[in-house]
Amino acid sequence: MTSFSIDWLDLREAADRRAREDKLLKQARHWLETDIAQGAARTAVDLGAGTGSTLRAFSMSSTQATDLESLSWRLVDQDMELLAEARLRHGGSHQLETYELDLNDLAALPLEGAHLITASALFDLVSADFIETLAAVLQSRCLQQPVGFYSALNYDGTTRWTPAHPLDEAVLIAFNHDQQRDKGFGLALGPDAGPYMERAFNSSDFRVFTANSPWVLDGTDSNLVNTLISGIGDAVGEDPALDAASLWDWFQFRKAHMLTGTCIVGHTDLLALPNVI
């Protein structure tokens, strides 16, 4: 499964936080804080949790500091270093458990008693089978206790740059093709993840809410933009549809405009809540 460094996760977090659709985040937070049945647990399980960015987003969206005391989080990731960082940052302020697990093993995930399953920037990496299986698992769990699902920052396949460059569209096509390689979960859905999740959870008797959550980047985000340009260049560098000289020109052009240009990277957020009475 694809892994990410603490530096990269920290670098993108401010852009992620701005991008999250606030109304959907608050709706997810309200679901997590609301007892559906007497004595129901207020527990969230965050998949691919990294250093705890989803936990931080939920905490910052709360208007009541005391809410933190009534919520518990289970952070799941394959990377021991990231989970150790999450414990360092939040072990003293949150009810927190960490689980070093392969997310492909859905049967091993600590979902028992959870009220909400969350993820950030994860589900564009997974396969259609993964989403279908997870939706079925959560539908089954709803027979015992209602559980919701919140997935933020799913890449939607759109990127718009200013100033424009003649190769922008060709680079985007090549990058989107790379996004559908196997990232450790089978062939990734990439830009198709949002619509696929919406269909899968609708078919599993959930009410699905979606919203756009684009990165809107400018010169104040130049370090992130610099890393993004380099990452795109690495991803498409071997694509036979791109001429090497033209790609190098695009790369240099983009680097030259990091401080004066803009970049909008499309994402979608999704909240699926069970149809409960």
Q: What is the pLDDT of residues 192-227, one digit of tens each?
A: 999 999 999 999 999 999 999 999 999 999 999 999
Q: Which amino acid is at 268?
A: T
Report how far apart, in Å, the C-alpha atoms of 34 and of each of 64, 143, 144, 270 are.
14, 18, 17, 19
CATH number given to 6-157+183-215+266-274: 3.40.50.150
Q: What is the pLDDT of residue 67?
A: 56
Structure tokens at 71: 């919520």
Cα Rg of the chain, angstroms: 19
What are the φ and ψ backbone dihedral angles of 85, each rounded to 5 degrees?
A: -65, -40
Model pTM score: 0.94
Phi-psi domain of 274 (left: phi exceeds 0; alpha: psi -120 through 50; beta: other): beta
Q: What is the pLDDT of residue 62?
A: 61
Contacts of 204 (CB under 8 A, 6+ apart): 135, 136, 138, 139
Q: What is the pLDDT of residue 60?
A: 84
Do residues 133 and 204 lie in contact, with contact meaning Cβ atoms separated by under 8 Å? no
Q: Domain map of the chain by residue range?
A: 6-157+183-215+266-274
Q: What is the pLDDT of residue 126?
A: 97
Report how far apart, in Å, the C-alpha atoms of 220 and of each of 14, 121, 263 are.
11, 22, 11
Q: What is the pLDDT of residue 61?
A: 72
Residues of the chain with pLDDT under 50: 37-38, 65-66, 277
